[in-house]
Structure 1
Amino acid sequence: MALTGRDRARLGGRRAAGLLAAGTAVVLALATGGSLSQAGAATQPDAAAQATAVEAKKPKPTHSQIQLLAINDFHGNLEPATGSGGNINGIPAGGAAYLATHLKELRAAAAAKGQDSVTVAAGDLIGASPLLSAAFHDEPTVEALSGMGLEAASVGNHEFDEGWHELLRMQTGGCLPDGDGQNNQNSCPDPKHPFTGAKYKYLSANVFFTNTQKTLFAPYTIKTFKDGKKVAFIGMTLENTPNIVTKSGVEGLTFKNEVATANALVPELKKKGVKSIVVLLHEGGFPADPKAYNSCPGISGPIVDINAGLDPEIDAIISGHTHQAYNCSLPDKAGKPRLVTSASSFGRLVTEVRLSIDNATGDVDRTNTLAQNQVVTQDVVQDPKTAKLIAKYKALVAPIENKVIGHLGTPSVVRTNDDSLESPLGNLIADAQLADPSVVSGGKAPVVAFMNPGGIRADLASNGGAVTFGQAFTVQPFNNFLVSMDMTGTQLKALLEQQFSGVNGPDAPKYKVLQVAGITYTWNPAAAAGSKIVAGSIKIAGQPLVDGTSYRIVTNNFLSDGGDGFPAFATATNKVFGGLDIDAFANYLSAHDPYTPVATDRISVGS
């Protein structure tokens, strides 16, 4: 069991002596040396001489211990998330002000043992963020993480939500001329407090400018500690990023294979005298038991193959992306155990690693390295500086967040699917897209709408029936644009099959069934991939689909570029960009006030 913040305060001296929960150690616990304070009595006249003699006889330590603290997939959650995203195994967890305190406590415990410390992250620190951060282009999150002492972070796919130009601004600073609140966003809302950029380094070893083959950010950073030991951190973005972000956000960039890129950097780092190497990887895995956050039972997913392919000279992998929590050693391709960790998401866990560096070789001694995922409990005092920052932005966002845009006839509208994988909230969002006037082109309005289920981030809640803009934004936090386009009946058939094939096929964690309006159909779970849509079942406005007929459809710009494994959208023609999806959603709720969920009868399961 991980120690709580109160436990750490009460057992400060014992923790400084290295007492971590033995049952959650990945490998062997660290050895501790004797105390110099026990060498002789201060009352003896030759106490200093005796102490000097004892020190001279004491053998030099064979290893140096370095503390590595890691997080991933923070997603701008400055305040504790709600629901299941706000706890670990039922324990309330997360919140930037609590996270900052836990990091301070962990560093203090290491410092008491004479150990150096470094704090890193494995991507998706920003993007898909709550309104408190997103309303200000995630500037508050960058500022908060900088204040916590974060030193290096790999770039995740969500760092590209507003495009790579904006990501560069996150690093270097500056303010956007966004109309002082246009589209419910406001860069640098406090004129006396300009955005100065991240104090930590973004790293992207496998993200290159296509024309120059230079990396978007530095591929790695080398941290030199007080005893001269060097540890390199390679930052890695998942190779599949172009398929899951808006095309315009990564235009001009090339994403290369994670394994090949990292392995190619090993000789370069060794020439620089670096023997201890850690990869910060924004890609991950899926343990069979997601509650076992300090082990990796039955782990599967990309992390398994990536670990197997990485050079054995790489000593540890700090991973992310899947929002899972795990901590164990997996064999590298030389058969030796290598540390692989992930700290869940939203700042609910911190991975504490004690890298044991062999003083003779300068390399990590894996058999003497310990790691533990620590719960970011809320039983500690909030860090005052971080709490003050959050309070400031809460006051600034209040007018946007608290505006009532409609009412519900039910307590909430849920994103929970029925057996066909259709949901009440998916229907609402698709209906809102279909009704949005901004995508009408030349008098031709869309007749079908599609919404990706992964873009629906929460149920639509209400306060006594009243729905605020903040609650709507929690559902759709990406600020995507709506796009209308023409697709033939043949293209639409291909699109529907792509829900169950390719990257969305049987080997995926789950099918990605698009939420729809204006179209009905039946699919057969028992049929082979590529043939799951029941022949003749597709109807638009109640009429059978015709292969050669062109239909006007609407979706968001992420899907329109072929994102989420739907390349059929990229074959559409006559694309017209409309307004923001969140505005369409909010306007629909206002126009249908109060709103009552409709039946989930657009998609059916049959044979």
Structure 2
Amino acid sequence: MKLPGITAASTAAALAFTVLAPVPAQAAPKPVIQLLALNDLHGNLDAVPGAAGQVVTTDDAGQPANVQAGGLARMATLLKRAREGQNRSLTVAAGDMIGGSPLVSAAYHDEPAVDVLGEMGLAVSSVGNHEFDEGRDELQRMVRGGCHPVDGCAVDGEEYAGTPFPYLAANVVDTASGEPILPPYWIKDYDGVEVGFIGLVTRDVPSVVVQSGIAGLEFRDEVATIDRYAKELSRKGVKAIVTLIHEGGEKTSPAYDFDCDAQGPGTGVVGPIKAIAERASSAVDLIVTGHSHEAYVCSIPDPKGKPRLITQAASFGRTFTDIRFQINPDTGDVVRKSVTAANRIVALDTPEDPAIKSLVDTWHARSAEIADAPVGYISGDIPGRGSKDPEKPLGDLISDTQAEATGAQIAFLNPGGMRADLVYEAGGREGDGVVTYGESFQVQPFGNILVTMDLTGAQVLQVLREQYSGANAEFPRLLQLSGSLEYSVDESRKDSERILAETVRIDGAALDPSAVYRVAANTFLADGGNDFPTFKEGTDRVNNGVDLDAFVSYLKAHSSAKKPFAPPKADRVTFLGQPQRLL
């Protein structure tokens, strides 16, 4: 039976057409790469107590809510969950993974943090400024291995093996050789799909670390460095390029899952990373950042006007960033429109990974005797790093401890010199209100020497003005100060004019420009750190012991179980008008 209208001839023709017609080629699948990114851990194996360990999220009613977060054993669980179904996943970091650490890690020169991060699968990291806290030689020992030259092996009979991941330092150059002190980039081959990672740190390292530790080093321009090594990777045939950079910016929302593109006009990230992202080579497809301790995902056009994501997770292990993108199999480049990223909170109700928890507990047991010793008592929380106010109660306390320890009339503290809060609620078995040595160390982990010097009244005023001028003009940096000094800031004025000279009082008396005052500061500030060059002009300089020792001695002398220390009022600086955000 023949169907109407279909003849043998027409059937043959149809068959011929079917055989000869080109079959559409199946598009090659686009490999998906996953990066799990963290930054600014600062050796915090555990969740940080107090406000410094919180992230801002939203409650069921959509209102802002602060929640505690962190802990590497919890993060390990979440990283494993995030990797499920991803056969090309890599954990990366953007610096400050060590340095400024609590006692459990710092007591062993941050070998515990490296140990735990290695077990968690960290594959590569850029250096941060805090990787230089103990100097260049110690950073290179951390990378290459070997026991500490003074303190020996952390575990008797076991030599430290070094970082199981590469540290990258593309813009940190030995001034004699002109070569980077660590590899500038690293290439990951995913079964023929290559991704290059350029790692670098803020060029402002000399203003934020002790100078003696970085002698003979040059910290080069970030954009020029990125461009140089993006070209080198491209010449090697690597087209998918990620930059890990320890530099960041400030954002317009405190939320941990801040998405610039979802917030509308007038929002986003400002600061150094924005200018870097706008100018760095378009060959770079993604920029993972750190340093500012902010959490954000932002799209900033590259020099060709093409959207490019910059990301950052919050500090102290509170969040990590889950980044995913496709690779074009024909070109080997990132499909830019496929790049997605989201910050994930490390909630305290997350089950702890048993293997990582066991490792963390092992390091805690080694330092427990020192860490758990009580050194003082407080009647309530004393906010420091976690305080949102420019003048911080803990900053007042620390400055007072340094003035008393040195006999200085005035003591100054850089805001980055306090790393946590003092929390009333017990973190272990010590009891509420008890301050342990470990908690004190977490607040003051650097072991900075206190320096006393002579400054004239005019120089003291200039120090105050430097909080709002020079390199600190865009993001003012309020020094914490001892109780002998008070002054007012007029926020309606610009830059250094905000400091009202006529309001400056020392021990209740007006500042005398020609008088000489004895001033205390840690070695970092005394060397002009954080862009306070006037401190370097101080004369008759004397070293007066370690900042942590001053803090512990003060708590022992001024508190007891029956009479705990009350939180300071933080009222030494009077702000006329709403203070802008300060670092």
Equivalence for 2:441: 473
Equivalence for 2:414: 452
Equivalence for 1:43: none
Match of 1:533 among 493, 496, 499: 499
Structure 1's 397 and 502: CA in aligned 2 closer, same or farther, altered over 3 A? same
Deviations 1:402-427 (A, max 9, x none): 1111223x223344999995444323
Match of 1:567 among 519, 523, 533: 533
Does 250-259 or 527-536 show the bigger shift?
527-536
| 1:494 aligns to 2:462 (yes or no) | yes
Equivalence for 1:484: 452
Equivalence for 2:3: none
- Say if 2:374 and 2:435, in contact at 8 Å, map to a contact too: yes
Equivalence for 1:151: 123
- Say if 2:313 and 2:343, in contact at 8 Å, map to a contact too: yes
| 1:173 aligns to 2:145 (yes or no) | yes
Q: CA deviation at 1:93?
A: 3.5
| 1:132 aligns to 2:108 (yes or no) | no
Match of 1:279 among 243, 251, 255: 243
Deviations 1:44-71 (A, max 9, x none): xxxxxxxxxxxx9983624222222211
Equivalence for 1:68: 35
Distance between the aligned counterparts of 2:390 and 2:84, measured in 1? 49
Deviations 1:83-120 (A, max 9, x none): 34245625653211122222233334213xxxx22221
- Say how many residue pairs are matched: 530
Q: Please tell me the root mean square deviation across aligned C-alpha atoms, in Å.
A: 2.7
The percent identity for this pair of structures is: 42
Match of 1:99 among 59, 71, 75: 75
Distance between the aligned counterparts of 1:530 and 1:494, measured in 2? 9
Aligned partner of 2:295: which letter?
A
What secondary structure is seen at the aligned counterpart in 2 of 1:570?
Answer: helix
Equivalence for 2:9: none
Deviations 1:336-393 (A, max 9, x none): 1112211222223232222311111111111233333333345554323211111111
What secondary structure is seen at the aligned counterpart in 2 of 1:490?
Answer: helix
Deviations 1:487-521 (A, max 9, x none): 2222112111112222333x31x541332243333
Equivalence for 1:579: 545
Does 240-249 or 530-539 show the bigger shift?
530-539
Q: CA deviation at 1:588?
A: 1.0
Distance between the aligned counterparts of 2:477 and 2:111, measured in 1? 34
Does 337-346 or 60-69 show the bigger shift?
60-69
What secondary structure is seen at the aligned counterpart in 1 of 2:43?
Answer: coil
Q: CA deviation at 1:397?
A: 1.6
Tell me, which stretches of 5 or more residues in structure 1 are unaligned? 1-55, 180-186, 440-444
- Say if 2:403 and 2:482, in contact at 8 Å, map to a contact too: no
Distance between the aligned counterparts of 1:418 and 1:387, measured in 2? 29
Q: Which runs of 4+ in 1 moved over 6 A?
A: 416-420
- Say if 2:394 and 2:568, in contact at 8 Å, map to a contact too: no
Equivalence for 1:412: 381
What secondary structure is seen at the aligned counterpart in 1 of 2:327?
Answer: strand
Structure 1's 275 and 538: CA in aligned 2 closer, same or farther, altered over 3 A? same
- Say if 2:135 and 2:213, in contact at 8 Å, map to a contact too: yes
5 Å matches for 1:27-46? Answer: none
- Say if 1:452 and 1:515, in contact at 8 Å, map to a contact too: no
| 1:431 aligns to 2:366 (yes or no) | no
Distance between the aligned counterparts of 1:547 and 1:286, measured in 2? 36
Equivalence for 1:388: 358
What secondary structure is seen at the aligned counterpart in 1 of 2:122?
Answer: coil
Aligned partner of 2:480: which letter?
L
What is the TM-score with the length of structure 2 in the denominator? 0.84
What secondary structure is seen at the aligned counterpart in 1 of 2:259?
Answer: coil
Distance between the aligned counterparts of 2:507 and 2:33, measured in 1? 64
Structure 1's 275 and 519: CA in aligned 2 closer, same or farther, altered over 3 A? same
What secondary structure is seen at the aligned counterpart in 1 of 2:543?
Answer: strand
- Say if 1:419 and 1:605, in contact at 8 Å, map to a contact too: no
Q: CA deviation at 1:319?
A: 1.0
Structure 1's 357 and 522: CA in aligned 2 closer, same or farther, altered over 3 A? closer
Match of 1:254 among 218, 230, 253: 218
| 1:59 aligns to 2:26 (yes or no) | yes
What is the TM-score with the length of structure 1 in the denominator? 0.81
Equivalence for 1:7: none
Distance between the aligned counterparts of 2:368 and 2:100, measured in 1? 19
Tell me, which stretches of 5 or more residues in structure 2 are unaligned? 1-22, 58-65, 425-430, 578-583
Q: CA deviation at 1:309?
A: 0.2
- Say if 1:420 and 1:603, in contact at 8 Å, map to a contact too: no
Aligned partner of 1:175: which letter?
C
Equivalence for 1:184: none
Distance between the aligned counterparts of 1:197 and 1:80, measured in 2? 25
Equivalence for 1:341: 311
Aligned partner of 1:433: which letter?
Q
Aligned partner of 2:422: which letter?
L
- Say if 2:94 and 2:290, in contact at 8 Å, map to a contact too: yes
Q: CA deviation at 1:172?
A: 1.2
Distance between the aligned counterparts of 1:75 and 1:343, measured in 2? 13
Deviations 1:447-474 (A, max 9, x none): 2211123322333234433322122223
Structure 1's 414 and 377: CA in aligned 2 closer, same or farther, altered over 3 A? closer
Equivalence for 1:373: 343
What secondary structure is seen at the aligned counterpart in 2 of 1:263?
Answer: helix
